[in-house]
Protein backbone atom coordinates (compact mmCIF):
# COMPACT_ATOMS: atom_id res chain seq x y z
CA UNK A 1 0.00 0.00 0.00
CA UNK A 2 1.51 3.32 -1.08
CA UNK A 3 -0.76 5.40 1.16
CA UNK A 4 -3.80 4.83 3.34
CA UNK A 5 -6.13 6.56 0.91
CA UNK A 6 -5.69 8.31 -2.43
CA UNK A 7 -6.38 12.05 -2.39
CA UNK A 8 -5.08 12.86 -5.85
CA UNK A 9 -3.13 11.43 -8.75
CA UNK A 10 -0.14 13.35 -10.06
CA UNK A 11 1.28 10.86 -12.55
CA UNK A 12 0.86 7.21 -13.46
CA UNK A 13 2.05 5.01 -10.59
CA UNK A 14 2.58 1.28 -10.25
CA UNK A 15 3.28 -0.27 -6.85
CA UNK A 16 5.64 -3.22 -7.08
CA UNK A 17 5.26 -4.23 -3.45
CA UNK A 18 2.12 -5.69 -1.93
CA UNK A 19 3.17 -8.93 -3.64
CA UNK A 20 5.72 -11.73 -3.45
CA UNK A 21 9.30 -10.94 -4.46
CA UNK A 22 12.12 -13.39 -5.07
CA UNK A 23 14.66 -13.31 -2.25
CA UNK A 24 18.25 -14.56 -2.46
CA UNK A 25 20.59 -14.47 0.56
CA UNK A 26 24.17 -13.58 -0.37
CA UNK A 27 25.95 -15.54 2.37
CA UNK A 28 25.41 -18.29 4.88
CA UNK A 29 23.91 -21.75 4.57
CA UNK A 30 21.32 -20.78 1.95
CA UNK A 31 23.46 -18.44 -0.17
CA UNK A 32 22.36 -18.39 -3.79
CA UNK A 33 19.07 -20.18 -3.17
CA UNK A 34 15.78 -18.54 -4.17
CA UNK A 35 12.82 -17.97 -1.85
CA UNK A 36 9.55 -16.06 -2.13
CA UNK A 37 8.97 -13.33 0.47
CA UNK A 38 6.06 -10.96 0.94
CA UNK A 39 6.77 -7.25 0.52
CA UNK A 40 6.84 -4.83 2.16
CA UNK A 41 8.58 -6.94 4.75
CA UNK A 42 11.85 -8.16 6.19
CA UNK A 43 13.58 -11.50 5.72
CA UNK A 44 13.39 -12.12 9.49
CA UNK A 45 9.72 -12.99 8.89
CA UNK A 46 10.91 -16.21 7.20
CA UNK A 47 11.82 -18.96 9.74
CA UNK A 48 15.08 -19.76 7.96
CA UNK A 49 16.31 -16.16 8.25
CA UNK A 50 15.09 -15.10 11.68
CA UNK A 51 18.65 -14.31 12.78
CA UNK A 52 20.30 -13.72 9.40
CA UNK A 53 22.68 -10.79 9.29
CA UNK A 54 24.20 -9.93 5.94
CA UNK A 55 23.19 -8.97 2.42
CA UNK A 56 20.15 -10.22 0.58
CA UNK A 57 18.76 -9.53 -2.87
CA UNK A 58 15.07 -8.81 -3.45
CA UNK A 59 14.11 -9.30 -7.09
CA UNK A 60 10.99 -8.32 -9.04
CA UNK A 61 10.06 -8.31 -12.72
CA UNK A 62 7.97 -5.42 -14.02
CA UNK A 63 6.94 -3.83 -17.32
CA UNK A 64 7.96 -0.27 -18.17
CA UNK A 65 9.12 2.00 -20.95
CA UNK A 66 10.37 5.53 -21.51
CA UNK A 67 11.37 7.73 -18.60
CA UNK A 68 10.60 6.34 -15.16
CA UNK A 69 11.15 7.22 -11.52
CA UNK A 70 11.69 4.38 -9.05
CA UNK A 71 10.97 5.35 -5.45
CA UNK A 72 11.76 3.18 -2.44
CA UNK A 73 9.90 4.35 0.65
CA UNK A 74 12.30 2.47 2.93
CA UNK A 75 14.88 -0.33 2.69
CA UNK A 76 16.52 -1.69 5.82
CA UNK A 77 19.17 -0.79 6.39
CA UNK A 78 21.46 -0.04 3.46
CA UNK A 79 20.22 -0.43 -0.12
CA UNK A 80 21.90 -0.83 -3.49
CA UNK A 81 19.45 -0.81 -6.40
CA UNK A 82 19.99 -2.43 -9.80
CA UNK A 83 17.90 -2.26 -12.97
CA UNK A 84 18.60 -5.05 -15.46
CA UNK A 85 21.91 -5.70 -13.70
CA UNK A 86 23.09 -2.06 -13.74
CA UNK A 87 23.51 -0.20 -10.46
CA UNK A 88 21.27 2.87 -10.42
CA UNK A 89 21.12 3.95 -6.75
CA UNK A 90 22.64 3.52 -3.31
CA UNK A 91 21.07 4.67 -0.05
CA UNK A 92 21.74 4.45 3.67
CA UNK A 93 19.01 4.78 6.31
CA UNK A 94 16.05 2.43 6.56
CA UNK A 95 13.57 5.11 7.53
CA UNK A 96 13.90 7.66 4.73
CA UNK A 97 12.60 7.37 1.16
CA UNK A 98 14.86 7.73 -1.87
CA UNK A 99 14.33 7.71 -5.59
CA UNK A 100 16.17 7.48 -8.88
CA UNK A 101 15.20 8.54 -12.40
CA UNK A 102 16.02 6.25 -15.32
CA UNK A 103 15.62 7.61 -18.84
CA UNK A 104 14.91 5.88 -22.13
CA UNK A 105 13.90 2.51 -20.70
CA UNK A 106 13.20 0.14 -23.58
CA UNK A 107 9.62 -1.19 -23.79
CA UNK A 108 9.18 -4.61 -22.22
CA UNK A 109 9.86 -6.50 -19.03
CA UNK A 110 12.69 -5.45 -16.72
CA UNK A 111 14.29 -6.79 -13.56
CA UNK A 112 14.53 -4.64 -10.44
CA UNK A 113 16.95 -5.88 -7.77
CA UNK A 114 17.37 -4.34 -4.35
CA UNK A 115 20.33 -5.56 -2.35
CA UNK A 116 19.56 -4.91 1.32
CA UNK A 117 22.22 -5.05 4.04
CA UNK A 118 21.49 -5.19 7.77
CA UNK A 119 25.07 -5.69 8.97
CA UNK A 120 26.85 -3.48 11.47
CA UNK A 121 29.78 -1.67 9.87
CA UNK A 122 32.05 1.32 10.39
CA UNK A 123 30.55 3.38 7.58
CA UNK A 124 27.26 3.60 9.44
CA UNK A 125 27.20 6.26 12.15
CA UNK A 126 24.15 4.78 13.90
CA UNK A 127 24.33 1.23 12.66
CA UNK A 128 26.65 -0.13 15.36
CA UNK A 129 26.36 -3.24 17.57
CA UNK A 130 23.63 -2.71 20.11
CA UNK A 131 20.79 -4.42 21.91
CA UNK A 132 18.16 -4.17 19.19
CA UNK A 133 17.62 -6.18 16.03
CA UNK A 134 18.36 -4.35 12.81
CA UNK A 135 15.96 -5.90 10.36
CA UNK A 136 16.84 -6.47 6.72
CA UNK A 137 14.52 -6.11 3.78
CA UNK A 138 12.25 -3.99 1.62
CA UNK A 139 10.39 -2.68 4.63
CA UNK A 140 8.25 -0.04 2.88
CA UNK A 141 6.58 0.22 -0.54
CA UNK A 142 8.40 0.45 -3.88
CA UNK A 143 6.75 2.49 -6.62
CA UNK A 144 7.45 3.01 -10.32
CA UNK A 145 6.23 6.26 -11.85
CA UNK A 146 6.00 7.18 -15.53
CA UNK A 147 7.51 10.60 -16.26
CA UNK A 148 7.21 13.08 -19.06
CA UNK A 149 10.23 15.00 -20.31
CA UNK A 150 8.99 17.89 -18.17
CA UNK A 151 7.74 17.03 -14.69
CA UNK A 152 7.06 18.57 -11.29
CA UNK A 153 9.52 17.82 -8.51
CA UNK A 154 7.35 19.46 -5.89
CA UNK A 155 4.59 22.01 -5.30
CA UNK A 156 4.68 24.04 -2.06
CA UNK A 157 1.67 26.04 -0.91
CA UNK A 158 2.03 28.58 1.91
CA UNK A 159 -1.07 30.39 3.16
CA UNK A 160 -0.94 33.76 4.88
CA UNK A 161 -3.28 36.54 5.95
CA UNK A 162 -2.87 40.12 4.82
CA UNK A 163 -5.31 42.97 5.35
CA UNK A 164 -7.80 40.50 6.84
CA UNK A 165 -7.78 38.40 3.67
CA UNK A 166 -6.27 34.99 3.06
CA UNK A 167 -3.75 34.45 0.27
CA UNK A 168 -1.68 31.54 -0.95
CA UNK A 169 1.92 31.73 -2.14
CA UNK A 170 2.68 28.80 -4.43
CA UNK A 171 6.18 27.67 -5.44
CA UNK A 172 7.04 24.79 -7.71
CA UNK A 173 10.14 23.04 -9.01
CA UNK A 174 9.96 21.68 -12.53
CA UNK A 175 12.63 19.38 -13.94
CA UNK A 176 13.58 18.89 -17.56
CA UNK A 177 14.78 15.37 -18.29
CA UNK A 178 15.93 15.85 -21.84
CA UNK A 179 18.38 18.20 -23.42
CA UNK A 180 17.08 20.38 -26.19
CA UNK A 181 18.57 22.51 -28.91
CA UNK A 182 18.81 26.25 -29.07
CA UNK A 183 19.93 27.48 -32.48
CA UNK A 184 21.46 24.12 -33.24
CA UNK A 185 23.43 23.80 -30.00
CA UNK A 186 22.46 21.22 -27.39
CA UNK A 187 21.69 22.66 -23.96
CA UNK A 188 20.26 21.35 -20.71
CA UNK A 189 18.05 23.29 -18.31
CA UNK A 190 17.83 22.13 -14.70
CA UNK A 191 15.70 23.30 -11.83
CA UNK A 192 17.08 23.56 -8.32
CA UNK A 193 15.38 23.70 -4.95
CA UNK A 194 14.91 26.75 -2.77
CA UNK A 195 17.66 28.10 -0.55
CA UNK A 196 21.43 27.84 -0.29
CA UNK A 197 21.37 24.29 1.09
CA UNK A 198 19.52 22.99 -1.95
CA UNK A 199 21.59 25.02 -4.40
CA UNK A 200 24.76 23.79 -2.71
CA UNK A 201 23.85 20.18 -3.39
CA UNK A 202 22.76 20.77 -6.98
CA UNK A 203 25.72 22.83 -8.13
CA UNK A 204 28.33 20.78 -6.25
CA UNK A 205 27.17 17.57 -7.91
CA UNK A 206 26.98 19.19 -11.35
CA UNK A 207 30.48 20.63 -10.99
CA UNK A 208 32.05 17.65 -9.22
CA UNK A 209 30.44 14.61 -10.78
CA UNK A 210 29.17 15.74 -14.19
CA UNK A 211 32.12 17.87 -15.34
CA UNK A 212 30.03 21.03 -15.65
CA UNK A 213 32.24 24.09 -16.04
CA UNK A 214 29.75 26.97 -16.23
CA UNK A 215 26.40 27.63 -14.58
CA UNK A 216 24.16 30.61 -15.26
CA UNK A 217 21.38 30.72 -12.70
CA UNK A 218 18.14 32.53 -13.53
CA UNK A 219 15.49 33.39 -10.98
CA UNK A 220 13.26 36.00 -9.44
CA UNK A 221 14.14 38.55 -6.78
CA UNK A 222 12.81 41.39 -4.69
CA UNK A 223 14.04 44.94 -5.22
CA UNK A 224 15.64 47.01 -2.44
CA UNK A 225 16.45 49.98 -4.66
CA UNK A 226 14.17 52.85 -5.66
CA UNK A 227 15.86 52.81 -9.06
CA UNK A 228 14.59 49.33 -9.90
CA UNK A 229 11.24 48.65 -11.48
CA UNK A 230 9.13 45.53 -11.79
CA UNK A 231 10.48 43.25 -14.58
CA UNK A 232 13.96 44.83 -14.52
CA UNK A 233 16.78 42.34 -15.09
CA UNK A 234 19.68 42.23 -12.62
CA UNK A 235 23.10 40.82 -13.44
CA UNK A 236 24.59 39.90 -10.08
CA UNK A 237 28.07 41.26 -9.43
CA UNK A 238 28.55 40.15 -5.81
CA UNK A 239 26.39 38.09 -3.49
CA UNK A 240 26.25 38.96 0.22
CA UNK A 241 24.88 36.77 3.00
CA UNK A 242 24.55 37.04 6.75
CA UNK A 243 24.51 33.26 6.90
CA UNK A 244 27.31 30.79 7.64
CA UNK A 245 27.35 28.72 4.46
CA UNK A 246 31.10 29.27 3.96
CA UNK A 247 31.91 28.51 7.60
CA UNK A 248 29.97 25.25 7.50
CA UNK A 249 31.52 24.29 4.17
CA UNK A 250 35.19 24.83 4.91
CA UNK A 251 35.46 26.93 8.11
CA UNK A 252 35.89 30.23 6.26
CA UNK A 253 34.50 33.51 7.58
CA UNK A 254 33.22 34.63 4.20
CA UNK A 255 30.02 36.58 3.60
CA UNK A 256 30.67 38.20 0.22
CA UNK A 257 31.52 36.34 -2.97
CA UNK A 258 31.81 37.55 -6.55
CA UNK A 259 30.37 36.02 -9.68
CA UNK A 260 32.47 35.03 -12.69
CA UNK A 261 33.75 38.13 -14.47
CA UNK A 262 34.19 36.08 -17.66
CA UNK A 263 30.57 34.89 -17.73
CA UNK A 264 29.34 38.35 -16.82
CA UNK A 265 31.32 39.83 -19.70
CA UNK A 266 29.68 37.38 -22.10
CA UNK A 267 26.23 38.26 -20.73
CA UNK A 268 26.93 42.00 -21.02
CA UNK A 269 28.03 41.60 -24.64
CA UNK A 270 24.89 39.61 -25.44
CA UNK A 271 22.80 42.28 -23.75
CA UNK A 272 24.37 44.98 -25.90
CA UNK A 273 24.00 43.00 -29.10
CA UNK A 274 20.34 42.15 -28.46
CA UNK A 275 19.41 45.50 -26.94
CA UNK A 276 18.26 43.89 -23.68
CA UNK A 277 18.65 46.27 -20.73
CA UNK A 278 19.99 45.12 -17.37
CA UNK A 279 21.22 46.52 -14.06
CA UNK A 280 24.46 45.20 -12.62
CA UNK A 281 24.74 45.18 -8.85
CA UNK A 282 25.11 43.38 -5.55
CA UNK A 283 22.34 41.30 -3.99
CA UNK A 284 21.49 39.76 -0.65
CA UNK A 285 21.37 35.99 -0.51
CA UNK A 286 19.05 35.34 2.39
CA UNK A 287 18.26 32.28 4.51
CA UNK A 288 14.72 33.57 5.04
CA UNK A 289 12.11 34.79 2.61
CA UNK A 290 12.03 38.50 3.36
CA UNK A 291 8.30 38.77 2.75
CA UNK A 292 7.71 36.80 5.94
CA UNK A 293 10.20 38.63 8.16
CA UNK A 294 9.02 40.39 11.28
CA UNK A 295 10.92 43.55 10.32
CA UNK A 296 12.53 43.63 6.88
CA UNK A 297 13.78 47.17 7.43
CA UNK A 298 15.89 45.96 10.34
CA UNK A 299 17.51 43.49 7.95
CA UNK A 300 18.17 46.17 5.34
CA UNK A 301 19.69 48.52 7.93
CA UNK A 302 22.26 45.87 8.84
CA UNK A 303 23.73 45.73 5.33
CA UNK A 304 27.27 47.09 4.96
CA UNK A 305 26.64 50.53 3.46
CA UNK A 306 29.41 50.29 0.87
CA UNK A 307 27.82 47.24 -0.78
CA UNK A 308 24.73 49.06 -2.06
CA UNK A 309 22.52 45.95 -2.00
CA UNK A 310 19.86 46.39 -4.69
CA UNK A 311 17.89 43.13 -4.42
CA UNK A 312 17.34 39.89 -2.56
CA UNK A 313 17.21 36.23 -3.49
CA UNK A 314 18.18 32.96 -1.76
CA UNK A 315 20.69 30.91 -3.78
CA UNK A 316 23.48 32.89 -5.48
CA UNK A 317 25.99 32.89 -2.61
CA UNK A 318 26.13 29.09 -2.45
CA UNK A 319 26.47 28.88 -6.23
CA UNK A 320 29.29 31.45 -6.45
CA UNK A 321 31.10 30.09 -3.39
CA UNK A 322 31.19 26.49 -4.61
CA UNK A 323 32.11 27.58 -8.13
CA UNK A 324 35.15 29.37 -6.73
CA UNK A 325 35.94 26.49 -4.35
CA UNK A 326 35.94 23.99 -7.23
CA UNK A 327 37.64 26.22 -9.77
CA UNK A 328 34.50 26.63 -11.91
CA UNK A 329 32.48 29.61 -13.14
CA UNK A 330 29.02 30.87 -12.18
CA UNK A 331 26.81 33.83 -12.89
CA UNK A 332 23.29 34.84 -11.95
CA UNK A 333 20.51 36.74 -13.70
CA UNK A 334 17.43 37.86 -11.79
CA UNK A 335 14.10 39.44 -12.68
CA UNK A 336 12.50 41.84 -10.22
CA UNK A 337 9.07 40.48 -9.29
CA UNK A 338 8.35 42.61 -6.22
CA UNK A 339 9.59 45.85 -4.73
CA UNK A 340 9.64 46.78 -1.06
CA UNK A 341 10.34 50.39 -1.96
CA UNK A 342 7.44 50.76 -4.37
CA UNK A 343 5.04 48.28 -2.73
CA UNK A 344 4.60 46.39 -5.99
CA UNK A 345 4.53 42.75 -7.03
CA UNK A 346 3.69 40.92 -10.22
CA UNK A 347 0.92 38.37 -10.67
CA UNK A 348 1.38 34.60 -10.90
CA UNK A 349 0.55 34.79 -14.61
CA UNK A 350 3.26 37.39 -15.16
CA UNK A 351 5.77 35.22 -13.31
CA UNK A 352 4.98 32.50 -15.83
CA UNK A 353 4.97 34.56 -19.01
CA UNK A 354 6.89 37.81 -18.53
CA UNK A 355 10.49 36.88 -17.69
CA UNK A 356 11.63 36.63 -21.29
CA UNK A 357 14.48 39.17 -21.15
CA UNK A 358 16.29 37.24 -18.44
CA UNK A 359 15.71 33.89 -20.14
CA UNK A 360 16.86 35.18 -23.52
CA UNK A 361 20.02 36.64 -22.00
CA UNK A 362 20.86 33.35 -20.31
CA UNK A 363 20.21 31.20 -23.38
CA UNK A 364 22.05 33.45 -25.83
CA UNK A 365 24.99 33.69 -23.44
CA UNK A 366 25.10 29.92 -22.93
CA UNK A 367 25.53 29.49 -26.67
CA UNK A 368 28.77 31.48 -26.53
CA UNK A 369 30.40 29.60 -23.65
pLDDT tens digits, one per residue of 95-142:
889 999 998 899 999 999 999 998 877 666 555 666 666 789 999 999
DSSP for 114-154, written as a single string = EEEE----TT-SS--S-SS----EE-S-EEEEEE-SEEEEE
Instruction: Record the pTM.
Output: 0.58
Judge contact between 278 and 234, C-beta under 8 A: yes
Closest CA to 361 of 242, 279, 258, 244: 279
Please state, in angstroms and rounded to a whole number, the distance separating the CA atoms of residues 361 and 270.
Answer: 7
**What percent of the chain is modeled with pLDDT above 90?**
66
**Of the listed ranges 26-35, 47-56, 307-316, 353-362, the one predicted with least confidence:** 353-362
The mean pLDDT value for 316-332 works out to 97
The mean pLDDT value for 287-307 works out to 89
N-terminal to C-terminal alpha carbon distance within the chain: 49
Of these ranges, 6-10, 146-150, 243-247, the one predicted with the greatest mean pLDDT is 243-247
Residue 349 above 90 pLDDT? no
The mean pLDDT value for 287-313 works out to 91
Residues designated catalytic: 338
Confidence of residue 344 (pLDDT cuts 50, 70, 90): confident
Q: How many CA atoms lie within 13 A of 28 on its CB side?
A: 14
pLDDT at 134: 76
pLDDT at 301: 92
Amino acid sequence: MIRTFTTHKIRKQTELTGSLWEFEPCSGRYAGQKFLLATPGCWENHPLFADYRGEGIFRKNFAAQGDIRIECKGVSHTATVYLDGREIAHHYNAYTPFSVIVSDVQPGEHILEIKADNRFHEESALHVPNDYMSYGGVSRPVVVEALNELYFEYVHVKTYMKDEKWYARISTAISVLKTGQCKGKEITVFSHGMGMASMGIYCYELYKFYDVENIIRIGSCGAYSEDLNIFDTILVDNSYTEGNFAYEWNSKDCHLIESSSLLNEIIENVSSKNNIPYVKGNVLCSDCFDGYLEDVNSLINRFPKDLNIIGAEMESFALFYLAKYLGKKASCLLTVVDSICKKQEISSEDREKSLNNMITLALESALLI
